Every structure is written in structure tokens, then in C-alpha cells.
Amino acid sequence: MTISPPAKVKLTPEDTFKVLSSGLDSLDVACDIHWQDESFFEYLDYMQGLAIENEQDQAIQFPESDLFAVLKPYGRKGHKWIIQNNDFDLTIGNWLEPKSRPSAMVSIRSEALWRLGPVTCVDILQELFYRAGAESVSVKPSRVDLCLDLTFPVNEWSVNLIPLRVTRSRYAAPHFENITMTGISIGHGNVVARLYDKPLEITKKSKKFWMYDIWGIEQDIPAELKIIRIEGQFRREAIRELGIDKIDDLFDHIEKLWAYFTQHWLRFETNPGQHHTMRKTLPWWEIVQNGFLGVQEATPLIRCKAISPLKKQLFAQSYGNLTSLMACNHEEQDIPIGSPARLTDLVDQLQESAKENGKSDFELEIDLADKRAKRARANMKMRQVHAERRRLGLPSNIKHFLD
């Protein structure tokens, strides 16, 4: 049986106020970790030393895992190590027992949340820590962005929405690109609401074209409609005030968090300025209130959609550089414009330029041997540290990371 993407349909003007998706689009968590020993720290120290020496990010692999990431040469906000990949952005502190500052802060990326589902993302994160030597891991939500994507009539998307709001925040501001309103922000504290044109944001900024697969629609949206994202951002203080402490509390009560956001913190109602008894919730906001489906299901196929634009970009850059190189060589050789050319000529031009710059096969072997020698010397130093710690009766399983 093959796995196929959901069948796409075309939106029509009759699809007014239709919920296309809902879920978590951003999740930051704080982790309190009891580590067995400093072995993982020693491994990170060793790899960070290479990053500092080479003045660039260092590729690493989590212990007993096929997950690769990059380690930065520097830390952040009191944490010594920064580890990043397509799914996670981690900062880890170099202390064995939890203290006032979390042992690790993790931002789970939007693509991972939609591709794997939030529960699976957190499970993977905890498993990574356990395999790296954690005895216990406690995960608490630090920032949560809930969202719902709604089709919206163009003629109703305007600054006239702002007076219709009923909210616990006094702050509200529209956002424009030239004369086109792109979004509305409400609040700037522990709870923030954002309403914005999601397809426009995808095109101009995030490039998350895989959201169209989540929505199950074609990209040609009718001129009469927009897709508006309604987003509620909660920071740690607001989350705790609502009785959510651990990550399981969030997953168990996520619909209640959305209900608080759309029924108590923010509403859009008729008759602005009138007594509350004279105002009624607008029908489209009632759809928002009732349209949140909870933690989203996993959509594994969006990884292919996310990688595809990057591959196209890398190809375009490589092709552009190689054709420029070939054009320079043709200019030097006075080859007439319009002369026949083949794709294999690009590879030939690259090989010739490599030789001109001293990159022969022998030079390539030397470069590879030098890099391997540096790693071998670094491994030797780490093994010496391992032997010395064992001699002193200190815990160390550095070899576990080097084997």
C-alpha cells in the first residue's frame, strides 16, 4: 500500500468562513534534567572545541540515535551549548542537577509539529535526552502558539475589524504592506493575538508552502477569499495561571486553552461601544471558537514538500555559478555566443577550474587525510581524558561517544 497526500480541492467563493486547519504552530519547552554523569557534557565540549577551532558549526550525532544536528561554537543566555537541526533548537546548560534555570530550553519547529504531531515531537525529545545519559526529564511548556486557519471574505478583511474586538488587552495595531492590510496584532504581554494573511506570509517570508497540503487545497485561491490565521500566543506565566504546568497538562487541556483565548480573552462582537448586553458574538468568530480540533494529526509527507524548495534553491545557485564559470571561460577562449553546449560541459569546467586552483586528486587526498588526522588527534586526547578519569575513580563513558 502506498502513502498518498490528501486529495486537493479548489476553494470557491461559497467557502466563506471555512476552517482549514487548527493546532500548535509553535511550542517552546523548558526541561529539568537529572544527568547520570558528565559524559554527554564532555562530548559536547569536545565537539564545541572543534567548532571553535574551525570557526564554524560542527556536525554532531546524538548517542544511540540516527538524529544529526549542528553544534554552535558559542552558547546562549546562560546555557553553554546550542544544538540545532530541522526539528529542534536546543540550548543545554552544563549542570548535572536541575536548578532555578532550566537544564535545557527547546524550541520545536513548526514543520516538525505539523509533520510528526506535538506529542510525538516531545516523545522524541525526551528519548534523545535519555539516550544521552539523562536519569529523569521533566518537560514544561514555556511558550505555546495555538492557531486556526480560516477562509475569510476579502471585503470583510479590513481595519474595521479592530473596533469590533472585545479583549482584555488595550493594545491593538494593524499591519500594512503599502496600502494592503496584512494583519492585526492584539496585546503585547503574556497573551498575544495575531490575525494575518497566511498565504501572503508564506510567500513573502516563511516559504511554508506545505501548509497547502495541510489545508488540502490548491494554491489558486479565489480573488474573493483570503486565508486568515488566528493565532493565540501564551507565555509561561499565562500558561501557569491557567493551571497548566507539565507538558501532559497542555496536551490534556489544549481545547480549554483555546476556549479561554477565544471566549474570554478575545471576541469579535457587533455594536461596538454599546453595553455588553447589546452586543453579540459575530458568527464567524463563533466558527473560530468551535473550530479548534485539538492537537493536530501527523502529516509525514510535508517533509518532502519542505525539502523540495531548498533543493531547487541549491540547484539554482549551483547551476548559476557553473554557467557563470563557463561563460567566463568561453569569453577567454573567444567562443562565439550561441555555440552548442551540454550539461556535461559544466562538470568538465568544474574539474578544470579545480585543477587550476591546485585541487588535484592528490591534493584532495591530502585534504581528506589532514581532516582525518585532526579528528584522530582529537579522539586520542579524548581517550586520554577518559583514561585519566577512570584512574581517578570518576565516572566517564567518553568512549561510548567516540566509538
Which carries the bigger pLDDT value, residue 289 or residue 15? 289
pTM of the model: 0.76
pLDDT at residue 396, rounded to an integer: 59
Q: How confident is the model at residue 113 (pLDDT cuts 50, 70, 90)?
A: very high
Model pLDDT, residue 2: 37
Tell me, what's the pLDDT at 167? 95
Distance CA 270, CA 287 (A): 15
Residues 217-252: tens digit of each pLDDT? 988 999 999 999 999 999 999 999 999 999 999 999
pLDDT of residue 3: 40
Answer yes or no: is pLDDT of 329 > 70.
yes
Per-residue pLDDT tens over the stretch 21-52: 999 999 999 999 999 999 999 999 999 999 99
pLDDT number for residue 380: 53
Instruction: Using a pLDDT cut of 70, give the percent of the chain over it.
Output: 84
**Using H for helix, E for strand and C for coil, what is the string for 285-352?**
HHHHHHCCCCCCCCCCCHHHHHHHHHHHHHHHHHHHHHHHHHHHHHHHCCCCCCCCCCHHHHHHHHHH
Q: What is the pLDDT of residue 342?
A: 83
Residue 371: pLDDT band (50, 70, 90) is: low
61: cell is: 550525532
Burial of 122 (0-12, 13-18, 19+ CB in 10 A): buried
Q: How far is CA 77 from the centre of its chain?
A: 20
Query: Using an 8 Å Cβ cutoff, are 128 and 33 in contact?
Result: no
For the cut 70, the answer to whether the pLDDT of residue 124 exceeds it is yes
